[in-house]
A and B are shown apart, each in its own frame.
Chain A
Amino acid sequence: MASPQMVMYDEEFKQINAVIDKLLRDANAKVIFLVDKNGQLISGVGEVERFDTTSLASLTAGNIAATGGLAKLIGEKEFSILFHEGEKDNLHISIVGGRVILVVLFDSRSSLGLVRLRVKKASDELTVIFDSLMQKAEEKEKSGATDFPFAEITDDDIDNLFS
Chain B
Amino acid sequence: MSFINYASREINCKIVYYGPGLCGKTTNLQYVYQKTAPDAKGKMISLATETERTLFFDFLPLALGEIRGFKTRFHLYTVPGQVFYDASRKLILKGVDGVVFVADSQEERYDANIESMDNLRYNMTEQGYDLDKIPFVIQYNKRDLPNAMSVEELRRDLNTTGVMDFEACAATGEGVFETLKAVAKLILIDLKKGQ
Most buried by B among A9, A39, A150, A157: A150
A residues with CB within 8 A of B: 1-10, 13-14, 36-40, 42, 52, 54-55, 58-59, 62, 65-66, 68-69, 141, 146, 148-153, 157-158, 160-162
Q: Chain B binding site: helix, strand, loop or mixed by DSSP?
A: mixed
Interface size on B, residues (CB 8 A): 47
Interchain CB contact under 8 A, B188 and A38:
no
Chain B residue, CB-CB nearest to A147 = B6
The reply on B122 being an interface residue by CB < 8 A is no
Most buried by B among A6, A10, A161: A161
Interchain CB contact under 8 A, B68 and A157:
yes
Residues of B within 8 A of A148 (CB): 4, 195
Query: Which one of A2, A10, A62, A151 contacts B1 once the chains associate, using CB atoms below 8 Å?
Result: A2
The reply on B72 being an interface residue by CB < 8 A is yes
Interchain CB contact under 8 A, B195 and A58:
no
7 closest Cβ contacts across the A-B interface?
A38-B95, A13-B7, A2-B128, A65-B91, A148-B195, A40-B3, A8-B5
Q: A55-B45, A161-B67 in contact; A38/B192 too (CB < 8 A)? A: no
B residues with CB within 8 A of A: 1-8, 11-12, 14, 42-43, 45, 47, 56-57, 59, 61, 64-65, 67-70, 72, 75, 77, 87-88, 90-92, 94-95, 127-129, 181, 184-185, 188-189, 191-192, 194-195
Interchain CB contact under 8 A, A150 and B42:
no
Bound complex: CA A162 to CA B80 (Å): 28
Chain A residue, CB-CB nearest to B44 = A55
